[in-house]
Structures are given as structure tokens and as C-alpha cells.
């Protein structure tokens, strides 16, 4: 039994249909030209502009700082790469309880190989939103943290200026067996009006020994 050769007939039919469609398009185009109308131009859709969004940096993506001065003006957290707050204290901006943390002092540092924290920078900061659940601090001043030697410790808060307890005093002090120690090797006062650390006479400062009587 011989199979019918239909492929050629189908191909011819397709070609006839294509030719008919072409003739119709030619007639329409010719009619538009004779009447003075320009043939329609194909419409090209306008390109869609894409705006790249840069996500905020994560804490471990923030670049390292070059020096203490480069911290001024920054908002923390996130903290510089490899660093964290290892010590800190609130400085009141007024007598009201809700203003107890309007300002602050902190030490930023890195963890040493033995697991202890090594202070690198001493910063002064202002609380950008005291009502927030997570404090966000704007750095107003920054210094290299003084190096503690021979039993000294850097004490933030708990120091007195002319006998009055002032949380805005930071001192490098060595404690003995007394409640207060005047063995102060270095001290600064945070001026909340300017946000800067100011020099203070060491003879005017002493600091409470938190471990006294324990």
C-alpha cells in the first residue's frame, strides 16, 4: 500500500496563504499612500528605568576607622568592623528621670587573644532618640583611649569633681584600700553643651572604688 504524498500539497497551501496576506497588506499600504497618509510606524515601548537600591551596611560590613577623629559624626550602632562597646556610662542631660541617658561616654575596643577587651577609642555621644527601645548614638567627640598601666583602670562615671559626683568625668585611676582614690593619672570632663572632652585639673578629681568593702 502506497502512502499519499501530502507534504508538498500542504506546503503549497501555506505559501498561497502567505502570498494572499502579502497582497492584502500591499493594497492597504498603497491606499494609504495615495490618500496622502503616511504608513503607521511601529510603536517602541519606552524603556523602564531601574533604580538600584543600596541596602544599609550590616555591623560587620562597616569599614574600619583610620583614627579617632574619623568617628566624629558617625551614628552607632553599627560599630566599626571588629569593634564593640566594651565600657560605657550614661550622662544625664537634666534632672528628670527620662533624661538620664541624653548623653553618654563609651570605650570602643577589640577582644584580645586571651578573651579580655582592649580599649581603643574613648567617645562622647548624644542620644538621637531617648524614647527608642534601642539607643542610637551620634558621636560628638573621640580620643585615643589612654593606656592603663601598673594597676590603673579607666573609670567612666563614679568620679567626683571638687567633691561632687559627676558622671561626665572620665579618669585613669589607681585604687587602693580606700573608698575614694585621688591617685589619678589622667582625666577629662565631657562638656554636654559642646559635646567635647575638656581638660580638667587632676587635683580636683577623685573616684569611688566600686569594690570597696566587698
Query: Is the model's pLDDT at 26 over the cut of 50?
Result: no
**Which one-letter DSSP state was computed for residue 69?**
G
pLDDT score for 213: 72
Higher pLDDT, 113 or 34: 113
Residues 88 and 167: their CA atoms lie apart, in Å, by: 11
- Ranges of each domain in the chain: 64-208
Q: Are strands 169-174 and 152-156 parallel, antiparallel or unpaired?
A: antiparallel
pTM above 0.75, yes or no: no
Give the whole-angstrom CA distance, residue 65 versus residue 123. 13
- Name every residue whose Cβ is closer than 8 Å to that of residue 209 and which is 6 or more positions away in sequence: 175, 176, 178, 179, 180, 181
Residue 107 has pLDDT above 90, yes or no: yes
Higher-confidence residue of 211 and 120: namely 120
User: Per-residue pLDDT for 195 more than 90?
Assistant: yes
Pick from 168, 9, 155: nearest CA to 91? 168
Share of the chain above pLDDT 90, in %: 57
Q: How confident is the model at residue 114 (pLDDT cuts 50, 70, 90)?
A: confident
pLDDT tens sequence across 77-86: 999 999 999 9
Do the beta carbons of residue 182 and residue 135 sit within 8 Å?
no
Amino acid at each position: 500500500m502506497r502512502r499519499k504524498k501530502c507534504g508538498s500539497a500542504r506546503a503549497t497551501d501555506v505559501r498561497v496563504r502567505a502570498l494572499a496576506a502579502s497582497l492584502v497588506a500591499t493594497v492597504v499600504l498603497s491606499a494609504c499612500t495615495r490618500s496622502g497618509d503616511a504608513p503607521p510606524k511601529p510603536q517602541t515601548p519606552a524603556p523602564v528605568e531601574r533604580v538600584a537600591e543600596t541596602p544599609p551596611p550590616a555591623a560587620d560590613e562597616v569599614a574600619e576607622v583610620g583614627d579617632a577623629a574619623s568617628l566624629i559624626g558617625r551614628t552607632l550602632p553599627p560599630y566599626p568592623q571588629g569593634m564593640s562597646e566594651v565600657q560605657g556610662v550614661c550622662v544625664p542631660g537634666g534632672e528628670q528621670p527620662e533624661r538620664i541617658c541624653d548623653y553618654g561616654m563609651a570605650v570602643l575596643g577589640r577582644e584580645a587573644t586571651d578573651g579580655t577587651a582592649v580599649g581603643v577609642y574613648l567617645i562622647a555621644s548624644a542620644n538621637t532618640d531617648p524614647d527608642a527601645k534601642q539607643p542610637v548614638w551620634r558621636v560628638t567627640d573621640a580620643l585615643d583611649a589612654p593606656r592603663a598601666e601598673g594597676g590603673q583602670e579607666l573609670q567612666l562615671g563614679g568620679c567626683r569633681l571638687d567633691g561632687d559626683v559627676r558622671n561626665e568625668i572620665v579618669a585613669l585611676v589607681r585604687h587602693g584600700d580606700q573608698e575614694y582614690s585621688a591617685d589619678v593619672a589622667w582625666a577629662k570632663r565631657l562638656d554636654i553643651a559642646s559635646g567635647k572632652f575638656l581638660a580638667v585639673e587632676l587635683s580636683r578629681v577623685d573616684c569611688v572604688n566600686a569594690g570597696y568593702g566587698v
